[in-house]
């Protein structure tokens, strides 16, 4: 069972109004061009009010009727399926581009668990145009990224920058300042904890909390990725 699509009701209404279309015009376009014979103006109005959500097929047809990409009618895509829908790509195209059988790719999309190898993962990122943060989340590499970042901030970040750059596919030059800042922030937290403890062994609660959220800290310092 898939979670509800992150539908952007305001975007749908704005696009329709810019085209000078009434709800009935949109519904007619979906029926005539996309075979959505069940769609009426009431459906379109309910989607725009946020009292109902379109299915994946209805979203694709609605985008066609509004002359836009499906992604323009969605909030931030979270799952493999949502990223594919946002791009308006059929399952077959993504399976072919990644070198997977249709059944294998479909299973990954249904379970939400990506199990492709390095080459297939790179192809997935390319065909879906995944930003680095989404690529790491979709391919299940967040734990590995957290491990590398933890080692980087608690030891010498310079020794880990190459592995991190390779994992997230970001130029090492773009990682220097974020990693340096993260190490400084972490060390500052540790120093403050020790100071509060009067120089004795401290709980390190602030430091542990920082490490628990280290992936989020990393992406916050890389807003364009």
The mean of the pLDDT values for the chain is 91
Q: Is the pTM of this model over 0.85?
A: no
> Torsion over CA of 21, 26, 27 and 28, rounded to 10 degrees?
80
pLDDT in tens, 26-62: 999 999 999 999 999 999 999 999 999 999 999 999 9
Question: Does the structure show a pLDDT above 60 at 203?
Answer: no
Q: Are 124 and 116 in contact (CB under 8 A)?
A: yes
* Average of per-residue pLDDT across 167-179: 93
Categorize the per-residue pLDDT at 199 as very low, low, confident or very high, splitting at 50, 70 and 90: very low
Q: Among the listed ranges 181-190, 197-206, 216-225, which one has the minimum average pLDDT value?
A: 197-206
Question: Does the structure show a pLDDT above 80 at 198?
Answer: no
pLDDT in tens, 87-136: 999 999 999 999 999 999 999 999 888 999 989 999 999 999 999 999 99
Residues of the chain above pLDDT 90, percent = 81
Question: Does the structure show a pLDDT above 50 at 180?
Answer: yes
State residue 200's pLDDT score: 43
Categorize the per-residue pLDDT at 184 as very low, low, confident or very high, splitting at 50, 70 and 90: very high
Q: Is the dihedral of CA 27, 30, 33, 37 positive or negative?
A: negative
State residue 169's pLDDT score: 87
State residue 195's pLDDT score: 62
Distance of CA 51 to the CA centre of its chain: 25
């Amino acid at each position: 069972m898939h979670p509800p699509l992150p539908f952007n009701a305001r975007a749908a209404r704005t696009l329709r109004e810019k085209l000078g279309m009434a709800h009935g015009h949109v519904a007619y376009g979906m029926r005539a061009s996309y075979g959505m014979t069940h769609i009426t103006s009431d459906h379109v109005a309910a989607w725009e009010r946020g009292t109902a959500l379109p299915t994946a097929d209805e979203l694709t047809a609605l985008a066609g009727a509004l002359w836009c990409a499906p992604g323009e009618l969605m909030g931030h895509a979270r799952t493999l399926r949502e990223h594919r829908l946002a791009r308006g790509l059929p399952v077959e195209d993504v399976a072919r581009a990644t070198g997977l059988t249709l059944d294998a790719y479909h299973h990954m999309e249904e379970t939400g668990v990506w199990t492709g190898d390095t080459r297939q993962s790179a192809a997935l990122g390319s065909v879906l145009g995944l930003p680095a943060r989404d690529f790491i989340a979709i391919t299940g590499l967040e734990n590995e990224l957290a491990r590398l970042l933890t080692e980087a901030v608690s030891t010498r970040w310079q020794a880990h920058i190459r592995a991190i750059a390779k994992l997230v596919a970001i130029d090492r030059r773009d990682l220097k300042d974020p990693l340096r800042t993260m190490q400084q922030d972490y060390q500052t937290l540790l120093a403050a904890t020790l100071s509060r403890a009067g120089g004795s062994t401290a709980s390190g609660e602030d430091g542990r909390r920082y490490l628990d959220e280290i992936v989020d800290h990393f992406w916050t310092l890389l807003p364009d990725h």
